[in-house]
Amino acid sequence: MDEKATPEGHAHAHGHAQAEGCFFCHTAMPMLERIWNEETRGHFQKSRVEFLKGLRCLLDDRIEHLSREETKGTKVTVE
């Protein structure tokens, strides 16, 4: 696996931060990465991208909602 040390001393494998002694980082992910074929890896990569796009959409909607000008009532013609 291609690992790089960070200034904090944590290793990164395939762009993921690894916590010292973490079962998922040191056991589960390396095992899964060995058995995943390229098609499977591609599906999970696309799912991460789609998840982030969903978060972006939620944020955009919230920003739009907060950016709307409030209307201070409506004008009514009184006879």
16 part of a folded domain: yes
Amino acid at 63: I
- The whole-model pTM stands at 0.47
- Average confidence (pLDDT) over 28-44: 88
Same domain, yes or no, for 2 and 13?
yes
What is the distance between the alpha carbons of residues 74 and 66, in angstroms, rounded to a whole number? 20
For residue 62, give the 3-state DSSP assignment. helix
75 part of a folded domain: no
More confident of the two residues 5 and 67:
67
Same domain, yes or no, for 18 and 1?
yes
pLDDT band of residue 75 (cuts 50, 70, 90) is confident
What is the distance between the alpha carbons of residues 5 and 41, in angstroms, rounded to a whole number? 24
21 part of a folded domain: yes
Give me the domain span that covers residue 54.
37-66
pLDDT band of residue 51 (cuts 50, 70, 90) is very high
What is the pLDDT at residue 20?
A: 76
Same domain, yes or no, for 30 and 45?
no
